[in-house]
Amino acid sequence: MNRRLVLIAVGTLGAAAVVTQLTLLRELPLAFAGNELVLGVALGLWLLLTGVGTLLGRGSADRASVAFVAGFLAIALLPLAQLLAVRGLREVVFPYGVVPGLAGTMLGCAAVLLPFCLVSGALLTVASKLISGEHEGAAVGHVYAADAAGSIAGGVAFSFILVGRVDHVTLLCIQAVVALGMAASLAARLRWPLGIVAAALAAGAIAVMTAAWDVDAVSEQWRHRGTVVTRTTSPYGRVVVTREAGQLTFFENGVPVVTSPDPAGAEEAAHYAMAQRPDAREVLVIGGAVSGVAREVLRHPVAAVTAIELDPRFVASGRELLPGNFQDPRLRIVLDDGRRFIRRTAARFDVIILALPDPSTLQLNRFYTAEFFAMAKRALVPGGVIGFGLSRYENYVGPELARLLSSAHRTLAAEFTHVVMIPSGRVYFLGSDKPLSLDIAGHLEESGLSLQRLNRHYLQATLAPDRIADLERVIDAAADPNTDFFPRLFHHHLRHWLSQFGPATAVPVMLMILLAAVGLVGSGAAARIVFSAGFAGTALPIVILLAVQVYYGSLYRQLGLVVTLFMAGLAAGAAWMNRRAVPAFPLRSLARLGLAVALAAAVLPWLLGILPGGSVDGTGGLGGQVLLLAIAFGLAAVIGAQFPLAGHAVRGSAPEAVASRLFVADFVGAALGALMVSTWLLPRAGLTTVCILTAGLNAATAALAACRT
């Protein structure tokens, strides 16, 4: 089979894999818990199963060309089947409304991802066999570079062209047609009529299906008891609104974030803080426009309310379905990242209300850190109030909830002289440099407000001395504060969530240990270096993406640009190494690159600390963003250059054996990084520790390899 055509096909495979991965990583949280742990598990399993697939490619060497074409037929059709399985089978396997827990989530994700990952991994090994030449290890570097280049194309198409314009079903249908076209081209090259006919029939079936049914609408309805009123896909995620028994529920990325009517939730979020400053004139609400929190604030005699929302599609759905929440002329909607806005604004507010979900992701954790509270304090007038809610209080505070509340209390108290907690539906925190009062009922009655939930009887029961004492008793003054680069609150939230599911939560830890053992014991010095590079290739981008969100805001195109530049760096490094002459001692050169990755990881925290805008007082200018992109590209280029060199360092094996050995090491290392860093190591040990451990791993494997030369 023509070498150039095979590499073009590998590029197509890389694009298809990225589009499928990004689509399914948006869908899986909708089916399970909707937190970052689910994303980490899904991504880790994706990488691990793809690595297993590269081992299966060894068995296809005898009829490699036919297997390659058949694999592309499967790659075209499997993603759409997987998407429909996620939407249609979740309620069959798990009862409606039941959160399956971590063990169930892992099994569910593995079952969904298994077919595509095995086939795509096998195709990488088969491609290495098809283009093998004079050196058994040379082909793997070219396949790696082509796959990375295709990943860039797929990532750019998804992030900057398709997402927000087409739904997930249409997106996967487009991807299927491209893959089927490649399958037909490969079959024509082989003069295999059956392959051409199969590709044509599959394309025709997709065309008929999309013309006859609105597959996205039908399949979306499968996973909701209520009627789906509207659905839309934006760069920030999937927005679905359902109606059941007269109640609207807004789902964002699978999490029910707004229920209407819900006067109790809106009243509590708004009036606990507003009762402290009944003469407030300027109020800032982050995340509370659609939910009606801003509307509740406007029941007070304020001059203006500024409401910050990130996703324009979410706001558009709210305007359409809940127009009453947007009609007051004193309300100003700003579409921006809330943290970015509060950092850049010159306005000063009497009250700031965070109407946000719990810190279940690193992105949300940014709104509960010491650095954010310092920015919020500067945006408040002297004596202004900040308010937010966390978790749930059910007349009992367990050890995990106690850790979460203690960390939040310590963090807020570091910036504000007075802090109170209110054990309502959620635990509401209020902070100010002037005294705060628990006579909420008296203040609200003086304002002349008639509220459905927050009446005197309810407040007397809520603020009973024994309930207040219950919260105060568990607060540990020595608790660790939550910071941007040490997201302890995110860690405590995940531990609190995991505590609901018992000992099965040990499964991911055992899986991490197994992955580390497989990667490090592995098969040779070169494979161990590739394993370490794979770990760095997922761990360090997480660190960089966290820095982007902390310093410059959670802006989708900026985050997409960082990921794209990192992938481009991998491709550029691999292409550069492919064009160089093979060194006399490739393992020695590979060890040097491993030490370079270790050095880059070690200095990364220092580089992030000196970025323009890399502090609470910074402005987040263009120079810092350009420097951060350059760091991502350069780091990725060094990692990408290792893979082709490793192919030359592994001798005495068939091309498919070299390919599978190195791809397994790369994918297993990346899987360990995805599973371990964002959901466990980073929140537990902090950004600097992640970088130092990554540096130590790469330095150790490089040193062991150097000793062998």
Residue 213: CB atoms within 10 A of its CB come to 12
Mean pLDDT for the chain overall: 88
Work out whether strand 247-252 and strand 255-260 pair parallel, antiparallel, or are unpaired. antiparallel
Query: H helices within 359-505, ranges in order?
Result: 362-365, 370-379, 399-413, 440-446, 456-462, 465-474, 488-498
More confident residue, 318 or 551: 318
Radius of gyration of the chain (CA): 27
**Which pLDDT does position 350 carry in this prediction?**
98
What is the distance between the alpha carbons of residues 265 and 600, in angstroms, rounded to a whole number? 47
**Which pLDDT does position 72 carry in this prediction?**
95
More confident residue, 549 or 523: 549
**Which pLDDT does position 617 carry in this prediction?**
43
Each residue's pLDDT tens digit, 690-699 = 999 999 999 9
As beta bridge partners, residue 155 has none
What is the distance between the alpha carbons of residues 47 and 591, in angstroms, rounded to a whole number? 24
Lowest mean pLDDT among 123-127, 306-310, 580-584: 580-584
**Which pLDDT does position 700 carry in this prediction?**
94
Mean pLDDT of 264-287: 94
Give 486's DSSP letter.
Answer: B
Res. 452: pLDDT tops 90:
no
Res. 591: pLDDT tops 90:
yes
Distances (CA, A) of 416 to 409, 412, 520, 560, 684: 10, 6, 48, 36, 25
Alpha-carbon torsion angle 333, 334, 337, 342, nearest 10: -100
What is the distance between the alpha carbons of residues 196 and 137, in angstroms, rounded to a whole number? 32
Query: H helices within 57-131, ranges in order?
Result: 64-93, 101-130
Res. 507: pLDDT tops 80:
no
CB 379 within 8 A of CB 563: no
Each residue's pLDDT tens digit, 426-449 = 999 999 999 999 999 998 888 888
Long-range contacts of 262-267 (CB under 8 A, 24+ apart): 262/291, 262/292, 263/292, 263/451, 263/452, 263/453, 264/425, 264/452, 264/453, 265/291, 265/425, 266/291, 266/292, 266/293, 266/295, 266/296, 267/296, 267/451, 267/452, 267/453, 267/454
More confident residue, 89 or 151: 151
Enumerate domains of the chain plus CATH numbers.
1-225 (1.20.1250), 263-484 (3.40.50.150), 501-709 (1.20.1250)
pLDDT bin (cut points 50, 70, 90) of residue 615 is very low
Res. 18: pLDDT tops 80:
yes
**Which pLDDT does position 616 carry in this prediction?**
43
CB 24 within 8 A of CB 79: yes
What is the distance between the alpha carbons of residues 448 and 450, in angstroms, rounded to a whole number? 7
Helix (H) or strand (E) holding 282, with range, is strand 282-286
Helices (H) and strands (E) in the chain, counts: 27, 11
pLDDT bin (cut points 50, 70, 90) of residue 254 is confident
Q: Give the residue from 49, 85, 71, 122 showing the smallest Cα distance to 659.
A: 122
Each residue's pLDDT tens digit, 203-226 = 999 999 999 989 999 998 888 888
pLDDT bin (cut points 50, 70, 90) of residue 561 is confident
What is the distance between the alpha carbons of residues 629 and 563, in angstroms, rounded to a whole number? 9
pLDDT above 70: percentage of residues in the chain: 92
What pTM did the predictor assign? 0.90
Mean pLDDT of 581-585: 80
Each residue's pLDDT tens digit, 32-51 = 766 777 888 888 889 989 99
Res. 516: pLDDT tops 70:
no
Res. 134: pLDDT tops 50:
no
Distances (CA, A) of 463 to 277, 393, 679: 19, 12, 35
What's at 288, amino acid-wise?
A: G
Mean pLDDT of 218-245: 88
Each residue's pLDDT tens digit, 54-64 = 988 876 555 78
Q: 3-state DSSP: the chain helix, strand, coil percent, rounded to 5? A: 65, 10, 25
pLDDT bin (cut points 50, 70, 90) of residue 97 is low
Res. 103: pLDDT tops 80:
no
Mean pLDDT of 367-394: 95
- Write out the two tokens for 291: 């939910």
Tell the residue number behind the tokens 């990554």, with chain if given: 694
Res. 513: pLDDT tops 60:
no
pLDDT bin (cut points 50, 70, 90) of residue 524 is confident
